[in-house]
């Protein structure tokens, strides 16, 4: 094991970069813009340049660097290839091959949600746990499964794609993936708003939610915390969908901990509570006490997890 490694997290607008000691200490983090023009052809060269610049700036010995880990928003196979990453305008890209050629360093690639899960299992909310399910509640619902300290990327790069678990068989609206009734349609930020709008249409019940011209998930969660009854019904439905789905996932892989992250998780413990109530109801006896906890690393989970991949 060397002394240092790099963790990179590629997003649609910016690329987060971290220089780590291999014992897990984040020495420095910075960002560069994501240049998506010409099918994002500059993205990997930009990353290589910022890494090589950093090595020179810090006068690091390349022999002491374990490598570069990179998380990308798309499915990644076990050869480190991406078939398609819509948000980067990438089609097929041999990410690790190209990155290693550009930097002269070993590299590993993973899906961004998977990599964030690995970060939380390494140095975040579930630090020290070998088996973790992480759910990222953002615009969509992402997920990552860590077993025995390693990412389960799956046979088609779809390991941890738990946002597309079918949880409501009679749903009439389509999910972005083309199916109907995916977890993402209820538990993402957009999903929570959708559930709230349906609840408002279904009754005349008074609610502060009716006062917003452009309702957001944060509005719903704030109203819920302030005791709004309609918001409580909405969050009960969201908690039921998410808690019961987590109970099913738990009887597949039986994790030590379930970590909830992403923007929606900023609602904090009240969100966990409404998930946990339903989780405990549906979970298999041996898994009922599995802790459901808030993510800790926030936007840094990706660079931590990417770094962990190469150590």
CB of 161 to a copy of itself, least distance (A): 5
Of 33-41, 46-54, 103-111, 146-154, the window that binds a copy of itself (rule: CB under 8 A) is: 146-154
Q: Which is nearer to a copy of itself, 65 or 76 (CB)?
A: 76
Find the part of the chain contacting a copy of itself (CB under 8 A) among 44-52, 229-237, 258-266, 278-286.
278-286
Q: Judging by DSSP bridges, how do beta strands 4-10 and 65-72 pair with one another?
A: parallel
Among residue numbers 153 through 182, which ones bind a copy of itself (CB under 8 A)?
153-162, 164-167, 169, 177-179, 181
By C-beta, is 68 or 235 nearer to a copy of itself?
Answer: 235
Q: How far is the CB of 195 from a copy of itself (least distance, A)?
A: 16
- H-assigned helices in the chain: 37-40, 43-57, 95-103, 112-123, 184-187, 189-202, 217-225, 229-253, 269-282, 301-310
Choice from 4, 6, 249, 304 touching a copy of itself (CB under 8 A):
249
DSSP state of 68: E
By the rule CB under 8 A, 245 interacts with a copy of itself: yes
Spatial CB neighbours of 255, under 8 Å, sequence gap ≥ 6: 129, 131, 132, 133, 145, 146, 290
Nearer to a copy of itself, 189 or 250 (CB): 250
Which of 190, 191, 168 has its CA nearest to residue 179? Answer: 168
Beta strand pairing call for 150-151 and 141-147: antiparallel
**Does residue 124 bind a copy of itself (CB under 8 A)?**
no
Q: Which one, 32 or 248, has the nearer CB to a copy of itself?
A: 248
152 binds a copy of itself (CB under 8 A): yes
Quick one: which segment of 62-70, 85-93, 207-215, 276-284 binds a copy of itself (CB under 8 A)?
Answer: 276-284
User: Which one of 15-23, 98-106, 244-252, 259-267 is the stretch in contact with a copy of itself (CB under 8 A)?
Assistant: 244-252
45 three-class SS: helix
- Window 279-298: residues binding a copy of itself (CB under 8 A): 281-282, 284-287, 290
Largest CA distance in the chain: 68
- In a 13 Å sphere around the CA of 230, the CA atoms on its Cβ side amount to 21
220 forms part of the interface with a copy of itself (CB under 8 A): no
**Binding residue for a copy of itself (CB under 8 A) from 248, 294, 298, 299?**
248
Contact (CB, 8 A) for 301 and 125: no
Residue given tokens 């590993």 in the structure block: 108
Beta bridge partners of 7: 18, 69
Name beta bridge partners: 141: 137
Size of the site for a copy of itself (CB under 8 A): 44
Output the six-digit token pair for 300.
Answer: 């840094």
Positions touching a copy of itself (CB under 8 A) are 75, 131, 145, 147, 152-162, 164-167, 169, 177-179, 181, 240, 244-245, 247-256, 281-282, 284-287, 290
């Amino acid at each position: 094991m060397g002394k240092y490694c790099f963790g990179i997290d590629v997003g649609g607008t910016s690329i987060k970069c971290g220089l780590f000691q291999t014992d897990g200490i984040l020495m420095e983090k910075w960002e560069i813009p994501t240049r998506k023009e010409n099918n994002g052809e500059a993205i990997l060269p930009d990353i290589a340049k910022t890494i090589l610049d950093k090595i020179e700036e810090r006068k690091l010995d390349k022999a002491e660097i374990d490598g570069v880990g990179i998380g990308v928003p798309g499915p990644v196979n076990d050869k480190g290839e991406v078939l398609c990453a819509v948000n980067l305008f990438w089609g097929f890209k041999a990410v690790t091959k190209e990155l290693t050629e550009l930097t002269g360093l070993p590299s590993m690639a993973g899906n961004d949600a998977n990599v964030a899960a690995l970060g939380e299992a390494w140095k975040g909310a579930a630090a020290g746990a070998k088996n973790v399910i992480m759910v990222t509640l953002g615009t969509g619902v992402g997920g990552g499964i860590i077993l025995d300290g390693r990412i389960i990327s799956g046979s088609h790069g779809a390991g941890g794609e738990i946002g597309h678990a079918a949880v409501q068989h009679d749903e009439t609206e389509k999910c972005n993936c083309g199916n109907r009734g995916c977890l993402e349609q209820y538990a993402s930020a957009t999903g929570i708003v959708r559930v709230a709008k349906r609840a408002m249409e279904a009754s005349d019940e008074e609610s502060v939610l009716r006062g917003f011209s452009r309702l957001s998930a944060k509005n719903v969660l704030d109203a819920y915390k302030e005791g709004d009854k309609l918001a409580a019904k909405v969050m009960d439905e969201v908690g039921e969908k998410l808690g019961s789905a987590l109970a099913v996932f738990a009887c597949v892989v039986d994790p030590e901990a379930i970590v909830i992250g992403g923007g929606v998780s900023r609602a904090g413990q009240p969100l966990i509570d409404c998930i946990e109530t339903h989780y405990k109801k549906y979970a298999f006896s041996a898994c009922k006490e599995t802790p459901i906890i808030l993510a800790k690393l926030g936007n840094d989970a990706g660079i931590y997890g990417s770094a962990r991949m190469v150590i």
